[in-house]
Amino acid sequence: MATKEDRPTRVSIDVRDLSKRYGSTVAVEQLTFRVEPGRVTGFLGPNGAGKSTTMRMMIGLDRPTGGEVLIGGRPYSQIREPLREVGALLDPSAVHPGRRARDQLLVLARSNRIPDRRVDVMLDRVGLAGAARRRLGEFSLGMRQRLGLAAALLGEPRVLILDEPLNGLDPEGIQGVRGLLRELAEGGRVVLVSSHLMNEMAVTADHLVVIGRGRLLADVSMTDFGARYGRGRVRLRTTRPERLGRALIAEGLTPAPAKGGAWEVADAQPDRIGVVAARERVPLQELALRSDSLEEAFLRLTAVSTDFTAEFTTDSGRKGAPE
């Protein structure tokens, strides 16, 4: 077993000039980034961007065409007790259908010298204590996700690599996983979580690594992402729209009427509008950055690099976004 002394105190995942080609398909192209401990890093990109491929290469399930990934300074293959160093959730359906949930975890625990009691602690932690003796073939997608998460956390690893862990979870499950990720990050662990949904990451991650077509598009804190790429759209309601409208136009902003008697201001920040409203002594009933402005920023950032280019069409054949 690795002693405390050979474990570097500050572990990170270092992706260096990583590339992967499948025949003529370029899945990952010269990716370089570092995943730091102590925060939740969202690994974001549209379908086919190369997230799963990158994560598979992190834990040696795929061989890079070029470059390397180091975890705590070493390639995954050189980690002696991987389950105790790196927990991964990649494909939750890759389980034996006839095996019972608890047995699945016991096999993992025993082959990695992890005490049996961790199995029950983790089953309870992910809300599967009641299903411990059910066969995996009967598990729903969400239950398989929960079990995969329990498996990843079994050895109390300092590094977590989770591919779309929120997929298939109900709202309670999503909240539970979010709380868990936060707790793990605050405990100084490296937490990398992929998703193709910006809004999901906005409430889950502290830091974002965005890729498109296998290339790095952004490596920024969640806060900076909004400031740098978000053209904020602010929604407001006031009892005196004419007065506030005039003041905002004088500030060079463009307020426009929106649904429900509200107003929207493009390319704006709530702080600035709040200051203008206070100066004009206009009561505000609502003032918020529209939640979809981050989603829009993500779409703009990845627009030129979306691999899955088929656009959705409506019944009448018009192009449109799916509801």
The DSSP symbol for 235 reads: E
Residue 192, H or E segment: strand 190-195
Q: How far is the CB of 52 from ligand ATP (least distance, A)?
A: 3
Q: Residue 51 or 102: which CB sits closer to Mg ion?
A: 51
Residue 12, H or E segment: none
Q: How far is the CB of 39 from ligand ATP (least distance, A)?
A: 21
Tell me, what amino acid is at 318?
A: R
Task: Report the C-alpha gap between 146 and 177 in whole angstroms.
Answer: 9
Tell me: does residue 52 bind ligand ATP (CB under 6 A): yes
Site for ligand ATP in 81-110 (CB under 6 A): none
Piece of 44-52, 88-96, 175-183, 230-238 that binds ligand ATP (CB under 6 A) = 44-52
Task: Report the C-alpha gap between 60 and 58 in whole angstroms.
Answer: 6
45: partner contacted, choices ligand ATP, Mg ion, none (Cβ within 5-8 A by kind): ligand ATP
Structure tokens at 82: 């991987």
Q: Which of 18, 35, 44, 51 binds ligand ATP (CB under 6 A)?
A: 51
Tell me: does residue 47 bind ligand ATP (CB under 6 A): yes
Task: Report the C-alpha gap between 190 and 50 in whole angstroms.
Answer: 20
Distance of CA 9 to the CA centre of its chain: 25
277: partner contacted, choices Mg ion, ligand ATP, none (Cβ within 5-8 A by kind): none
Tell me: does residue 264 bind ligand ATP (CB under 6 A): no
Question: Within 10 A of 26 (CB to CB), how many other CB atoms are there?
Answer: 17
Per DSSP (E only), the strands in 231-276 are: 234-238, 255-257, 263-265
Q: Residue 195 or 293: which CB sits closer to ligand ATP?
A: 195
Site for Mg ion in 69-128 (CB under 5 A): none
Q: Which of 15, 40, 52, 263 binds Mg ion (CB under 5 A)?
A: 52
Binding site for Mg ion (CB under 5 A): 51-52
